Amino acid sequence: MTLNRKQLGAEGEERASLYLQEQGYIILQRNWRCSSGELDIIASKDNQLVFVEVRTRTVYAQGSGVNRYGSVLEAITPRKQIQLRRLAEIYLYQAKLRNISLRFDVVLVERSGEQYSMNHIKHAF
């Protein structure tokens, strides 16, 4: 089944959420929005707040010898990182959270046919 970009992203976020729950994370928010943008997943684990950016890609050919995750990680540019940090600040302010340990993770979701694989990068930036 062919998915459009929006459907692929939604499916990737759903699978990333399930994966994180299997790893012991508590999902606090999904697709949290404000006028400045959106945070894909806000979770907690081990007394730490985790802001998770989900990137989903369809893989058409395996074994090309290219770093499979390079282009996906490169998509999270310094500008995007700044935006995510600002959104996290807004979330913390609105939720009245202070002096809390936090980090930014990335979950890379790759779809090959009907199969999905995850790569969870903790402390990505």
* pLDDT single digits (tens) 57-101: 887 765 544 445 555 667 788 999 999 999 999 999 999 999 999
CA distance 67 to 9: 21
Phi, psi of 54 (to 5 degrees): -105, 130
CA distance 65 to 22: 31
Domain 5-121 in CATH 3.40.1350.10: yes
Select from 19, 28, 7 the least CA-distant residue to 109. Answer: 19
Percent of the chain with pLDDT over 70: 88
Neighbours of 45 (CB within 10 A): 13
Select from 52, 57, 39 the least CA-distant residue to 94. Answer: 39
pLDDT at 48: 96
pLDDT at 111: 85
pLDDT at 63: 52
Q: Is the predicted pLDDT of residue 107 greater than 60, yes or no?
A: yes
Structure tokens at 109: 């979701």
Coil vs helix vs strand at 10: helix
Select from 12, 45, 46, 48 the least CA-distant residue to 30. Answer: 12
Q: Is the predicted pLDDT of residue 47 greater than 60, yes or no?
A: yes
**What average pLDDT does the structure give for the chain?**
88
Q: Is the predicted pLDDT of residue 32 greater than 70, yes or no?
A: yes
Please report, as a single letter, which amino acid is at residue 28.
L
pTM of the model: 0.86
pLDDT at 66: 46
- Rg over alpha carbons for the chain, rounded to the nearest Å, is 15
pLDDT at 86: 97
Sign of CA dihedral 77, 32, 3, 1: positive
